[in-house]
Amino acid sequence: MSEPWWWTDGLSVGPAGLALDGTPLEALARAHGTPLYATGAPTIRRRLAELRQALAATGRPSAIHYAMKANRFRPLLETIRAEGDIGIDAASPAEVALALEVGFRPDQVSVTAGMLSDRDLRTLVAQGVHLNLDTRSVIRRYAAIPGHRRAIGLRLDPAVATSWGGEARLAYGNSKFGVLPNEIEDVAALAKAMGLTVDTLHVHPGWGLPDSAAPALAAVFARMASLASALPSVRTVDVGGGLGWRHREADRPLQPAAWSALLTEAFGDTALRIACEPGTFVAAPAGVLIVEVNTVEVRGGKTWIGVDAGHNVNVYAAHYGIPHAIVPVDRPLAEPEIEVEIAGNINEANDVFARGCPLPAVREGDLLAFLPAGAYGASMASNHCLRGTFAEVLIR
């Protein structure tokens, strides 16, 4: 079989159609109902193994903190917890609480969150976790809370815009996040004056980094290495997330080996520990969204396919303009016969998953698979139109 562009190592096709980590998805969807997010634990473990290998190749000590905002389905978090050496990157006190409930220790949880309130800070201090902070305001307020940890990280604005498809909504440089590089030393001095020690320099460069982002990333990492040498209390550089997967045939995501080479170039000769916070790379390929076709209607020369999920169940197309590969679950490799518009069931004109999408002939009652859908799908779902119900299953 020649593999289509959206193929991953967790997928297979048998007589029952598309399977994820060996489990046929049609039967799973019929058993649990649609919309269904199916996630494969073996794929999660393979992705973590790949990242471990990429980090080991740098020759530096390293740490992986899974960014649970990507997918906080409890059985998935338990799978990651069972690995033993993987921590959590949390974005809110509630995420920390869930991580602790699942069994992560406070010293395995690192928080990188913006615009924290005093109430947030009091909760995070009580939770005993490490924070990466990014404003003078939050540093002052954190230092005033009794019982806070002494060591903090500083989040750096990457100051370059890199992201999937050059999409500004997914780039973090010059955005609301992070201390500007030329202000880091002043902010570190403020932290010191407040009795805090800056042990980590943090950056999150952007979502869905393409391989063409390598030069920009090299510059960001080189700047971090130089700032770390100017700040002797820094022991860890945390390079955030950003590795991703193909959402279009033309996508060329930055590969772990290339990322590892960039890290080695910048930090290989330092005494720094390298931490990272992958979300998409770990969770995206492990998840498939399955929806049922309820409407096939030819209107104005176009074939509209209506499905039983909307942009509230998966925001990618409506919110970011990011497509998914969409294939019939029972015939995922069948040759396309028509181009269709695929619409969700929310009362908004932008609730359209795909336009001009090539598909084999589709009937009402068929199941469609959206891939890759394991990251920022279920975790970003809302209850718009009271249609927030979907099933989630972990394939063990």
Ligand X SMILES: Cc1ncc(COP(=O)(O)O)c(C=O)c1O
CB-based contacts of 91: which residues, under 8 Å, 6+ apart?
Answer: 67, 68, 69, 111, 112, 113
Could you give the dihedral angle defined by the CA atoms of residues 25, 29, 32 and 37, in that order, rounded to the nearest 10 degrees? 70
CA distances from 199 to 89, 234, 235 (A): 16, 4, 5
Q: Please, which residues bridge with residue 357 across strands?
A: 340
Residues numbered 140-199 forming contacts with ligand X, rule: CB under 6 A? none
Stretch that binds ligand X, among 14-22, 80-88, 278-286, 320-328 (CB under 6 A): 278-286
Assigned token pair, 393 = 């299953």
Assigned token pair, 63 = 């740490």
**Least distance from ligand X to the Cβ atom of residue 44, Å:** 13
Residues numbered 315-344 forming contacts with ligand X, rule: CB under 6 A? none
Of 278 and 372, nearer to ligand X (C-beta) is 278
Choose which of 24, 173, 279, 374 interacts with ligand X (CB under 6 A): 279
Stretch that binds ligand X, among 19-27, 47-55, 263-271, 272-280 (CB under 6 A): 272-280
**Least distance from ligand X to the Cβ atom of residue 260, Å:** 15
Task: Determine the Cα–Cα distance for residues 103 and 126; give it in Å rounded to an integer.
Answer: 17
Stretch that binds ligand X, among 178-186, 240-248, 348-356, 362-370 (CB under 6 A): 240-248
Choose which of 240, 310, 328, 332 interacts with ligand X (CB under 6 A): 240
Alpha-carbon Rg of the chain, whole angstroms? 22
Stretch that binds ligand X, among 29-37, 271-279, 291-299, 320-328 (CB under 6 A): 271-279
**Least distance from ligand X to the Cβ atom of residue 281, Å:** 6
Choose which of 50, 89, 120, 157 interacts with ligand X (CB under 6 A): 89
**Least distance from ligand X to the Cβ atom of residue 278, Å:** 5
**Least distance from ligand X to the Cβ atom of residue 258, Å:** 15
Choose which of 43, 62, 71, 112 interacts with ligand X (CB under 6 A): 112
Q: Identify whether the C-beta of residue 309 lies closer than 8 Å to the C-beta of residue 35.
A: yes
Assigned token pair, 280 = 């998409």
Q: Identify whether the C-beta of residue 104 lies closer than 8 Å to the C-beta of residue 87.
A: yes
Task: Determine the Cα–Cα distance for residues 351 and 361; give it in Å rounded to an integer.
Answer: 22
What are the φ and ψ backbone dihedral angles of 20, each rounded to 5 degrees? -115, 125
Task: Determine the Cα–Cα distance for residues 155 and 148; give it in Å rounded to an integer.
Answer: 18
278 is a contact residue toward ligand X (CB under 6 A) = yes
Assigned token pair, 157 = 């604005």
Among candidate residues 275, 326, 230, 343, the one with its CA nearest the CA of residue 86:
275
24 is a contact residue toward ligand X (CB under 6 A) = no
DSSP 8-state assignment for residue 240:
-
Of 254 and 266, nearer to ligand X (C-beta) is 254
**Least distance from ligand X to the Cβ atom of residue 238, Å:** 8
Which residue type is seen at 140? R
Mask for 130-149, x = binds ligand X (CB under 6 A): --------------------
Stretch that binds ligand X, among 53-61, 192-200, 238-246, 333-341 (CB under 6 A): 238-246
Q: Which residue is nearest to ligand X (CB)?
A: 241
Q: Identify whether the C-beta of residue 231 lies closer than 8 Å to the C-beta of residue 188.
A: yes
Residues numbered 199-228 forming contacts with ligand X, rule: CB under 6 A? 204, 207
67 is a contact residue toward ligand X (CB under 6 A) = yes
**Least distance from ligand X to the Cβ atom of residue 361, Å:** 36
Among candidate residues 18, 19, 6, 28, the one with its CA nearest the CA of residue 331:
18
Stretch that binds ligand X, among 41-49, 133-141, 191-199, 236-244 (CB under 6 A): 236-244
Stretch that binds ligand X, among 263-271, 276-284, 353-361, 362-370 (CB under 6 A): 276-284
Stretch that binds ligand X, among 160-168, 273-281, 346-354, 384-392 (CB under 6 A): 273-281
Start-to-end Cα distance in the chain: 26
Residue 155 burial by Cβ neighbours in a 10 Å radius (0-12, 13-18, 19+): buried
Of 40 and 244, nearer to ligand X (C-beta) is 244
Which residues make up the interface to ligand X (CB under 6 A)?
Answer: 67, 70, 89, 112, 204, 207, 240-242, 277-281, 375
